[in-house]
Structure 1
Amino acid sequence: MTRLSVNINKIATLRNSRGGNNPDLIQVAKDCERFGAQGITVHPRPDERHIRYQDVFDLKKIVTTEFNIEGNSQEQKFIDLVLANKPEQVTLVPDVLGQITSNHGWDTIANQQYLTDMITVFKNAGIRVSIFVDPDVEMVEGAAKTGTDRIELYTEAYAHQYHANKELAIAPYIKAAEVAEELGLGINAGHDLDLQNLKYFAANIPGLDEVSIGHALISDALYYGLENTIQMYLRCLDKTQ
């Protein structure tokens, strides 16, 4: 079964909007795990507008499933943060300063040497590495040459096209996943996956190890409650249902 990692950035955004510690990010992470999530994801950014660097240290102490830290490895502070906390997984994302949200994968050909160097740093520290890529066979092939353990397929295009033509929307992702499997890469996915499009995606992508979902899941929790929402997402990932 594909694992569900809950991105809790939006909980931090809500907390930061008012000051104080409500909602309690640490308690939410504990509850996500208690409700069935198999991982916790955070994506700290330099302005700390949602996840603060201290949050990462605090979460490292209590996360009992898989801790995944996403971010821009071109920032030395991010590199230092990851190495200091040694999560189970680091996901390298090609963000730029001030970016609202991630919106593209790595050019794994143009950035091959840089990625190879950074991946080596993290793998030498015993951290599994995943890199954010678009569903492009050439980018997947380039990723394999960097030494990364996994790729994370950037799924915004799939989500955007899903309601118009889901077969067409998923086709490049299936091909990219097939190539990744052939090359020995693990496969993660994330961005705009939700209760409407997740089940079809998970059922059709071969070798899908993990999905990371934040915005949609936290939004759904406003209506359905956090425990029920996590269970709903887990059911989407269960191919026996």
Structure 2
Amino acid sequence: MIRLSVNINKVATLRNSRGGNNPDLLQVAKDCERFGAQGITVHPRPDERHIRYDDVYALKDIVTTEFNIEGNCDEKKFVDLVLAVKPHQVTLVPDATDQLTSNHGWDTITHKRYLQDMVKCFKDEGIRVSLFVDPLNDMVEAAAETGTDRIELYTEAYASHYHQGIELAAAPYIQAAEMAKKVGLGINAGHDLDLKNLKYFAEHVPGLQEVSIGHALISDALYFGLENTIQMYLQRLGS
């Protein structure tokens, strides 16, 4: 079974735009789980423009499925947060401080020694680690040498080229997933996966264990409702 982890950053963005607590982020997280999601993902950033650090502590107390925290381990505040909360999984993403959204994976060759240290830091506390990577065999192979448990394949290129040729768009991800399996890594995926492109990806990328989806899922919920939308995504995953 491929797990669906709902990224609730956009819910926090909407809440923050008016102040107060509407929509109620914690209630949305509970409802996502109640409607069938197998995980909750958050990606706090230094400016707290969507998920706030206080949100992460509060979510720790109410998430009953898998809790996944994404972020840049260059930020000491982020590292301290993860070590204090101890989520089931931390996904390390090489974001710049002022970055709008994630747009590339780690260069696991250049930064291998650094990543080895950071992976060990989290794994020593019993936290599963996933590294955000582009679908390149050499990056996947080097990721395994950091000691990480999983990789998260950055799927923006797949989503961008999906309508120009689905098999061609998926090919690098299939190859990267095969390499990940060969070197003993678990496989996650995320970024711009949606109701149109998810089914093919889930059916053809071998060993896929988890997808993290936020922007598209929350946008679809405006039209279809949150419960129905989660069920639609689960159907695309074969759940």
For normalisation by structure 2, the TM-score amounts to: 1.00
Task: Give the corresponding residue for 1:40.
Answer: 40
Task: List per-residue Cα deviations over 1:93-126 (Å, max 9, x = no partner).
Answer: 0000110000000000000000000000000000
| Within-5 A mapping of 1:76-95 | 76-95=76-95
For the residue of structure 1 that corresponds to 2:163, the secondary structure is coil
Q: Distance in 2 between matches of 1:5 and 1:97?
A: 24
* Counterpart residue type for residue 45 of structure 1: R
Offset, 1:209 = 0.4
Q: How does 1:102-141 map to 2 (within 5 A)?
A: 102-141=102-141
1:7 aligns with 2:25: no
Q: Tell me the SS of whatever aligns to 1:163.
A: helix
Name the counterpart of 2:225: 225
Match of 2:203 in 1: 203
Structure 1 residues 158-190: Cα deviation after superposition (integer angstroms, max 9, x where no partner): 000001100000000000000000111000000
2:139 match: secondary structure: helix
| TM-fit CA distance, 1:38 | 0.1
Letter in 2 for 1:137: N
Q: Secondary structure at the match of 1:108?
A: coil
Cα distance in structure 2, aligned partners of 1:32 and 1:132? 24
**Residues of 2 paired with 1:60 and 1:87: CA distance?**
7
1:21 is aligned to 21
Residue 12 of structure 1: CA displacement?
0.1
Q: Distance in 2 between matches of 1:135 and 1:15?
A: 34
5+ residue gaps in structure 1?
none
| Alignment-derived partner of residue 63 in structure 1 | 63
> Equivalences for 1:154-165 in 2 at 5 Å?
154-165=154-165
Quick one: distance in 1 between partners of 2:163 and 2:37?
27
| 1:6-62 C-alpha deviation (Å, 9 max, x unpaired) | 000000000000000000000000000000000000000000000000000000000
Q: Which amino acid aligns with 1:75?
A: E
SS at match of 1:90: strand
Shift of residue 77 of structure 1? 0.1
Matched residue SS, 1:212: strand
In 1, the alpha carbon distance for the partners of 2:33 and 2:163 equals: 31
- 1:105 and 1:24 map into 2 onto residues whose CA distance is 32
Aligned to 1:214: 214
Root-mean-square deviation (CA, aligned residues, Å) is 0.5
Which residue does 1:192 correspond to in 2? 192
Q: State the 1:145 CA deviation.
A: 0.3
Amino acid at match of 2:65: T
Aligned to 2:143: 143
Q: Using the alignment, how far apart are the partners of 1:181 and 1:224 within structure 2?
A: 36
Equivalent residue letter for 1:133 = V
Match of 2:234 in 1: 234
- What runs of 5+ residues in structure 2 fail to find an aligned partner? none
Aligned-partner residue type, residue 227 of structure 2: E
Counterpart-to-counterpart distance in 1, 2:97 and 2:172? 29
**Secondary structure in 2 aligned to 1:117?**
helix
Q: Would you identify which runs of 4 or more consecutive aligned residues in structure 1 move more than 2 Å?
A: none
Q: After superposition, what is the alpha-carbon deviation per residue over 1:193-236, rounded to whole angstroms, capped at 9, x for unaligned?
A: 00000000000000000000000000000000000000000000
